[in-house]
Amino acid sequence: MYQADESLSQGQAARDLRELAARDWLSPYGETKGRFYAPGPKMLAIREEFAGRAVPLRDPYA
């Protein structure tokens, strides 16, 4: 999907994803054509930090 969205060659997209995985932004799972990427440790830390700052909405009917 990334390759098509950004109009990249297969090699360019693969290099980008490998680099992001090497820098802990993504975590690769699976092999070859079955490989997919999930958020890595750095991305998860940002998500957790952001979630910790979220304030629940006040119920206007309470």
Residue 15 lies in a domain: yes
CA torsion 18-22-28-34 (nearest 10°) is 20
Distance CA 39, CA 45 (A): 10
The pLDDT value given to residue 46? 95
Tell me the residue range of the domain where 41 lies: 2-53
Distance CA 18, CA 16 (A): 6
Average pLDDT over residues 41-55: 92
Whether pLDDT at 54 is above 90: no
The pLDDT value given to residue 27? 96
Residue 62 lies in a domain: no
Residue 61 lies in a domain: no
Residue 48 lies in a domain: yes
Whether pLDDT at 2 is above 90: no
The pTM assigned to this predicted structure is 0.72
Average pLDDT over residues 38-54: 93
Three-state DSSP class for 27?
strand
The pLDDT value given to residue 32? 83
Domain count, the chain: 1
